[in-house]
Structure 1
Amino acid sequence: MREQLQELLEKRVQQCVSQKNRSSTHFCPKIELKKEGLAKRSGEIIKAKSIGNIISVDHGQEEKSSVQYNVHFKYLVKHKDMLFLEEQIEERRAEFYKGILIEDHEINRYAEPKEDTELKIEKEDSEERIVYEYNRLRAVQYAERWWNSYNPAYETFEVNCTNYISQCLHAGGGPMRGYPNRGAGWWMMNKNWSYSWSVANSMRIHLPRASIGLRAKEVTSPEELMLGDVICYDFQGDGRFDHTTIVTAKDANGMPLVNAHTTNSRMRYWAYEDSTAYTPNIKYKFFTIVDDQ
């Protein structure tokens, strides 16, 4: 099984830099979407590398086996006169019958049932004032340090994207407030947390509505975002947001490159058009963090 998976990964790496893929029996739509998106922006993948790691093997009945594994992809991207390294961790499952690979697919955590949580609208004291300065460099440094690992000082979730972004914002100076009311403020402490800290839809509601503590201003386009700002994603376009990322760099066109968890990623193009969770109905919210300085 290991040898077959390794061969599959080698073919996907070859597809990243090859100009003729569609006739291949190992054609990967996700890689082709990434390449097409880069080509539209005058970019290309000039080198790719993958490292696989088997997590578990389930030997089922009737000579069937299921393997869950992770793949660390590294893409050296040339965008106009700029070079950068994009990285992504794919969580995948392969199915075998009599030792022969018959199916392989990426696991889409956003296709699973969504947690039924809502942010309660709080009554804020207009006289309360929390002065803070948002240090964008520190937020980005934290995002880079922990993009593919988990800070043991915090709880970790299966869908960890918003928790990771909250940690980045806190590292940048965003002040926690509201404990112990889960529907108030933005916080994580004593093995508990607010909805706005850990749930993508609740963070999307909280950031522009907050008038004290951590808050943000919604802008209309990704070009307006700075390093350390936040993008929220509604993959299905149903009004309930699923995912959150943080801006950690800009490409040669001044468009955001982002880091994220759940599908751990760094320096990924903001639009997520190559994501397994992407649909044509996707909607975005762009938030720039504000402070008292």
Structure 2
Amino acid sequence: MKTFITSTFLAIVGAVSLPAAQAGEIWRASGLEQPESALFDAANNRIIVSNIIGNPLEADGNGYLSVLSPDGKTITRHWTGRMDAPKGMAISGGKLYVADITKIRVVDLASGKLVSTIDVPNAVFLNDVTADASGKVYVTDMLADAIYRIDGDKPELFVRDATLASPNGIFADGGRLIVASWGKGIKSDFSTAEPGGLLAVDLATKAVTPLPGAQKFADLDGVIANGDSIYATAYMTGTLYRYKDGGTPEVVAHLKPGSADIGTDGERIFVPLMSEGEVAALTLD
């Protein structure tokens, strides 16, 4: 989740004993400002990072996007500006779609120019974004238990269901969306009365199904799928989990609190570390 709540719970999570990290760290990119999402742009062989700078709920005009090389070097620090608190991102049709509180910012991938803004009616706190094989874009609304779909420039409510339990991360995986839930009963420090887990949303039927063995285990943020594995971060503890169908989530890395919306190039996981202003690249087991 977000930097402005980090100081509230650092003392709490610092006392938690967790397994040692298993996934190896390859590099870290520093000098970023509250990096919330790291998306691999395969067509251009680069990593796009969203920077919030300030309160993630405030439309303050401070947010921007950065571009990193595959080895973590800064290519362009301020690539795209004129944003408020940009978070999750997805690529569709040569355009980059960025969640920005209650709007979707649309950026031309070739130039980095902000070409349009899509207002999402009734949105509260848009968070992560993904695109399916047909090019349709999906975005979670964490504080409304909802997922919106954008086809072209037209947003519509795709599903609203209490079972989503504060949906944060989202990743299109074949005929389903994989969703990382923050949990139920969010408190003032963003801890929860009931931690979240992993769910699947069927693209055809919109049915929401909890993934077996992966419920109520952490307040989850980012999520990706690779092969038969699903990876998800827990922002408040900095934990990276791996889950396989029929199993239970296992810890593969433990970073500091602030691990947010992850990305992958199929071989590595890119983890934004909001509280440290860095992005870490880890090996993909």
Same fold flag (TM > 0.5): no
TM norm structure 2: 0.29
Q: Which protein has the larger Cα radius of gyration, Structure 1 or Structure 2? A: 1
Question: Greater strand share, 1 or 2?
Answer: 2
